[in-house]
């Protein structure tokens, strides 16, 4: 495997490397849950710009240029959940419709969206697309099968300073960390025993996968984020062992 480093933590395998170079070597996984680079404009935010450094961080680490959709291979997975920016929906849904049996749009509803519109509409929800092959449909409790997931964590307050909250993005030093509630809801309805995230970031998908008793494989090319993911997965593994 063309990887710079591989770390195994219980049922999790973390790979430091380029996802496009290692995906084929990983082989089959039951499900892929990914938060790939969005195709977005990082300008704007007006008077909130200084208080909203995540836009600068996104540009700095190069996760504003989109991704190659072909990394999702029908022959290598039973289902996929892919977060995306609004402007990526046409391309992603067209691809998944032609390669999977069924797909559906889901939405992460944000209680306190960042007040930025950039001649568009406020991003008060974030889109994710789920697609699956026959027999790899969503499972689990009906209450968790909602298309809209309302987070219970506040990513950013509407007015800076109105609430005291430890934001996931600030805690883990990554501009697009997904809330635990969002990831756990998706994971609880994902069929199968193995989960892959080829754009792992700081490991939110992996932490959720371990909590739900699944094997996890994560790929990340940024060494700083990779180290954070190791620490988070090690902590999750310790907590699970202690609770067992």
| Nearest-5° Cα angle at 58, 52 to 64 | 130
| Six-digit token string for 42 | 């990082």
Per-residue pLDDT tens digits for 130-179: 999 999 999 999 999 999 998 765 444 433 333 323 345 555 454 456 88
Please state, as a whole number, how many other Cβ atoms lie within 10 Å of the Cβ of residue 54: 19
What pLDDT, on the 0 to 100 scale, is given for residue 43? Answer: 59
Taking a C-beta distance cutoff of 8 angstroms, is the pair 12, 215 a contact? yes
Residue of higher predicted confidence among 61 and 22: 22
Q: Helices H, strands E: what count in the chain?
A: 7, 9
CA atoms within 13 A on the CB side of 31: 27
Q: What is the Cα–Cα distance from 111 to 125, expressed in whole angstroms?
A: 9
CA-based max dimension of the chain: 51
pLDDT greater than 70 at residue 45: no
**In this predicted structure, what is the pLDDT of residue 200?**
95
If you average pLDDT over every residue of the chain, what do you get? 84
Q: List, edge to edge, every strand of the sheet that includes 194-197.
A: 5-9, 12-16, 215-220, 194-197, 29-34, 77-84, 125-132, 102-109, 148-150
Query: What tokens appear for 102 in the block?
Result: 């069924």
- Residues 5-243: name the CATH superfamily: Vaccinia Virus protein VP39 (3.40.50.150)
Q: Which residues neighbour 4 within 8 Å (Cβ) at sequence distance 6 or greater?
A: 16, 17
Q: Bigger pLDDT: 51 or 233?
A: 233
What is the DSSP code (8-state) at residue 115?
Answer: S
Task: Domain ranges for the chain, please list them.
Answer: 5-243
């Amino acid at each position: 495997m063309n990887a710079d480093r591989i770390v195994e933590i219980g049922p999790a395998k973390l790979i430091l490397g380029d996802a496009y170079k290692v995906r084929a070597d990983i082989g089959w996984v039951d499900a892929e849950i990914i938060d790939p680079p969005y195709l977005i404009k990082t300008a704007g935010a007006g008077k909130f710009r200084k208080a909203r450094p995540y836009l600068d961080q996104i540009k700095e680490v190069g996760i504003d240029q989109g991704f190659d959709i072909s990394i999702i291979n029908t022959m290598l997975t039973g289902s996929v959940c892919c977060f995306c920016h609004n402007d990526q929906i046409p391309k992603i849904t067209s691809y998944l419709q032609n390669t999977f049996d069924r797909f559906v749009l889901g939405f992460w509803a944000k209680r306190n969206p960042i007040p930025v519109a950039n001649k568009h509409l406020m991003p008060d929800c974030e889109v994710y697309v789920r697609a699956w092959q026959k027999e790899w449909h969503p499972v689990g409790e009906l209450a968790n099968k909602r298309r809209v997931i309302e987070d219970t964590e506040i990513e950013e307050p509407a007015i800076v300073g109105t609430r005291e909250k430890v934001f996931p993005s600030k805690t883990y030093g990554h501009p697009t960390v997904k809330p635990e509630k969002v990831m756990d809801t998706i994971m609880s309805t994902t069929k199968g025993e193995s989960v892959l995230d080829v754009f792992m970031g700081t490991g939110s998908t992996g932490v959720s996968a371990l909590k739900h008793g699944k094997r996890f494989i994560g790929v990340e090319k940024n060494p700083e984020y990779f180290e954070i993911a190791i620490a988070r997965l090690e902590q999750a593994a310790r907590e699970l062992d202690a609770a067992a």
